[in-house]
Structure 1
Amino acid sequence: MTDTLTDTSTAHARAAAKYRPVFERIAAGALDRELARELPFEQINWLREAGFGAARIPAEFGGDGLGWAEFTDLLIELATADSHIPQALRGHIALVEDSLYHHGRGDDRSGWLRRFAAGELAGNAWTEPGAGGTATVLAETDAGLVLDGRKFYTTGTIFADWIDVTAKRPDGSHVSVIVATRTSGVETYDDWDGFGQRLTGSGTTVFTNAAVDPAHVFAFENRFPYQTALYQHILLVVLAGIAQAAVTEAGTQVRERKRVFGNGNAPLVRQDPQILQVVGEISAKAYVARAAALSVAHSLDRVFAAREQGADVEKAANIAAELESARAQTVLSTLVPEAAGAIFNALGASSTSASKALDRHWRNARTVATHNPFIYKARIVGDWEVNAAEPPFIWGIGEAAAQEAAGAAGLPLPAGTRDQPGTAG
């Protein structure tokens, strides 16, 4: 593998020309899908066929060779078209990154890179229901390795060919297991009932005596070290896209509105300076959201490059990426819901019509903002600024006593209690 991901400006121009027509098709039906609660199977297949799942993969394996800044630019455009889809691809993007990080470093991941370049997609199955811990078990039987367990928040898996699963062996060691969705004993359900991001496919997946290829089992401790920053980054992308969608929506609704209030400031709403101020403020917040996401993207480019620059450089880059994503999350988690909700300040009561679903932007933004609570991220950043305390790279949700015991013993948190990709809590 060559680590040079092509000339990114040229690669970005080619990729944008290829994917933007697909984004436009996706945007055209977004409102209808929201109203009908129709999962975007067809739209994700359009992206699959266009090769979007291989945007980060080097050209030598059949991808676009984009750096994180260029890929983020396109992801924000996709999130503007339909905020559900980048989140549904979150687990896939992370598994591609894990393959890129490890390939050529004593580990041949070319098979996975070529699968993804051929259009195969991955979902995730990390989080488990209940108080915490990992109950999903990878066991050796006479017939070979089998997987048994139940996972929730398995975002994107319903659309995918592969599932990135966390499990433990009977000896207690934690592993990552990649399982084909077509495997007998694998069932995925669309039972996510959140009020926002309803079309991400974040439901339950159950494994019952599901066969596992030994070559598809990896020690969890060897996951790429900046995965938490990357998972958070995709949520920042989603928020930036929602903010831009709110700008577009506000502009359209104000421009087309005919009814005016008698105590307004102009004969047409689109000429009213107070209404224009509202739209301008929404636009400014969307600008900040995009800028923040792109800033984090540059930190991911730096941390990816740092993996070849020695342990000290890599550690510093990982800390920087984690802190950047946390700072951006702390701001955007309130800024974007504010922007999405401000649409109604520019319009009348008719804007609350369910047929317009203008509330979807706020609902989606607020749902994304509940992931990995930003109040804790703000405290982590503050601890760094005051005490130079390194940020944690893995944290969890579950039974406090179990997590405290693990920490006291110097053990990593069980995979099922970590803050997982696709979780809502």
Structure 2
Amino acid sequence: MSDPASRFPEYADLLARVSAGAAERERLCVDPHEQLEMVRKSGLTALTLDESLGGPGGTVVDLMTFVTDLAEADPIVAHILRSHYLQPQMVRRLPPGPVRDRWASAIAAGQVFGNATSERDGALGTAQYATRLLPCEEGWRLTGAKYYSTGTAFADWVMVVAHLDDRRIARINVPLDRPGVAVRDDWDGIGQHRTGTGTTSFTDVLVTEDDIVQVTDPDRHRVASEVPLMQLYLQALIAGILRSVVTDARELLAGRTRTFDHAPAATPTEDPVLLATVGRLASTAYAVESLVLAAAADIDAAYASERAGAADPDLFARASLSAAQVKVHADEVGLAAAAALFDVGGASAASRARNLDRHWRNIRTLTLHNPASYKAIAVGDLLVNSAALPANGYF
């Protein structure tokens, strides 16, 4: 699949329907349940599920193309699905059998997965997470609390990361309606504020063997990783938002009839200062999108080595470096572009009814998922001192 639109005939119509009213929904804090349902019904939530598992077999390039398109239509809807697209990659690695078939069927049917990973206060003792699975007669009981659970308030399932013992970490899928699961949509961020991000708590939730998707040992180095994909996803969101910045800048300038008597042109649409601003915004959007797709191709190359039977550590390291470098650049130019949008308009551009500040607020919130400054240091240390990138959830 070279282009998601070629596989999904209603692709353009879906994006148009999701886009309709997006700025007003954001301004009024309206949850995009209807829009998420549109994406679910389209089949695009299964975009990267392997053909052998009942999906269309889309690549990471296909996914980033779709995420950019969807973020242009509504970055809130696009962000809700970030953790969901981790699932097809994890399911692909499961051994053939009923467990893999169960999760592949759920993805193919359009069921949506959220996440429950981050913990606000950190873990205790030698454990990485305070959330734990305690053995019981039926299997295990899950107890703990998670924060920043993006997408979970809209999901059918939530992937929970918890300790199976003092060393091993389990990733389990739990249905949102299972007794003991409670979701509070309490995220109050300045941007991306209707993404279903909040607190998810688990009180003696029953977990069986079938619910476990993956068990990892932090002491064992693992070459293949979904971290570059999950990190690059955020930059694809920024790429889509920057497209909207360009569209709004063009429309803002085209709609202006007045200018200043000391301006270099009599009409705003002929003003070289304003035209140059729009040109720079368009160039920034193009560059960020191109970088995202280039890094996506590097991630695809790493996955291809794994599918061939031998995950290449050099290719996965390259994928991590590519995603990190895109973030360092996209964060800086994205924020600058979202602010420069206002240079194209007059004072009316600051009207709350226009809601043009949503682009900056959304980009600023996305950049805060991890600091670009630390990533720049890691990239520089790699290039100058041959220091490996940190082996954590940010690289």
TM-score range, shorter chain: over 0.9
Count of matched residue positions in the alignment of Structure 1 and Structure 2: 387
* 2:17 paired residue number: 25
Provide the C-alpha distance between the structure 2 equivalents of 1:375 and 1:106, rounded to a whole number of angstroms: 44
* Aligned equivalent of 1:137: 132
Alignment of 1:328-339 (within 5 A): 328-339=326-337
> 2:215 — aligned with what?
219
| Residue identity opposite 1:111 in structure 2 | R
**CA spacing shift, 1:290–1:263, aligned 2, 3 Å:** same
Tell me, in whole angstroms, the C-alpha distance in 1 between the residues paired with 2:77 and 2:27: 16
Distance 1:215 1:152 in 2: 25
Q: Give % identity.
A: 34
Equivalent-residue separation in structure 2 for 1:57 and 1:109 (angstroms): 12
Distance 2:364 2:60 in 1: 25
Tell me the CA shift for residue 274 of structure 1: 0.9
2:349 is the alignment partner of 1:354:
no
Structure 1: segments with no counterpart, 5+ residues: 1-7, 396-418, 421-425
The answer on whether the counterparts of 1:19 and 1:52 sit within 8 Å (CA) in structure 2 is no
Aligned equivalents of 1:310, 1:13: Cα separation in 2: 30
Residue 162 of structure 2 aligns with which residue? 167
Q: Distance in 2 between matches of 1:187 and 1:211?
A: 14
**Does 2:274 align with 1:275?**
yes
Q: Which moved more, 1:383-392 or 1:349-358?
A: 383-392
Name 1:386's counterpart in structure 2.
Answer: 384
Counterpart-to-counterpart distance in 1, 2:388 and 2:27 = 44
Partner of residue 399, structure 1: none
The 8 Å contact of residues 99 and 210 in structure 2, kept in 1 or not, is answered as: no
| CA distance in structure 2 between the partners assigned to 1:179 and 1:34 by the alignment | 29
Deviates more, 1:301-310 or 1:36-45: 301-310
Question: How does the TM-score come out when normalised to structure 1?
Answer: 0.86
The offset of 1:325, in angstroms, is 0.4
For 1:109, what is the secondary structure of its paired residue?
helix
Partners of 1:236 and 1:210 in 2: CA distance? 35
TM-score (normalizing by structure 2)? 0.93
Cα separation, 1, equivalents of 2:198 and 2:68: 24
Conserved? CA contact 2:223–2:316, under 8 Å = no
Q: C-alpha separation between the residues in 2 aligned to 1:160 and 1:188?
A: 11
The answer to whether the 8 Å contact 2:16/2:73 transfers is yes
1:209 counterpart residue number: 204
Equivalence for 1:72: 64
Letter in 1 for 2:186: D
Structure 2 Cα separation of the partners of residues 12 and 43 of structure 1: 18
Q: In structure 2, what is the Cα distance between the partners aligned to 1:190 and 1:226?
A: 29
User: SS at the partner of 1:17?
Assistant: coil
Moved more, 102-111 or 25-34: 102-111
Asked if 1 retains the 8 angstrom alpha-carbon contact of 2:157 and 2:175, the reply is: yes
In the alignment, the residues of structure 2 paired with residue 266 and residue 393 of structure 1 have an alpha-carbon distance, to the nearest angstrom, of 55
Residue type of the partner of 1:220?
T
Structure-2 separation of matches of 1:206 and 1:264: 58
Shift of 1:106: 8.8
Conserved in 2, the CA contact under 8 Å of 1:246 and 1:339?
Answer: yes
Q: Does 1:192 align with 2:191?
A: no
Q: What is the CA distance between 1:184 and its match in structure 2? A: 1.1
Q: Which amino acid aligns with 2:251?
A: T
- Which shows bigger deviation, 222-231 or 57-66? 222-231
Say whether the 8 Å CA contact 2:223–2:313 is kept in structure 1.
Answer: no
Give the 5 Å matches for 1:8-407: 8-9=1-2, 12-15=4-7, 17-100=9-92, 102-103=93-94, 109-132=100-123, 133-217=128-212, 218-221=214-217, 225-309=224-308, 311=310, 314-395=312-393
Does the CA contact (< 8 Å) of 1:148 and 1:209 recur in 2? Answer: yes
Larger mean CA deviation between 301-310 and 44-53 belongs to 301-310
Q: CA–CA distance in 2 between the matches of 1:26 and 1:266?
A: 38
My pick for the range that moved more, 132-141 or 200-209, is 132-141
Q: What is the deviation of 1:310?
A: 5.5
In the alignment, structure 2 segments of 5+ residues that lack a partner are: none
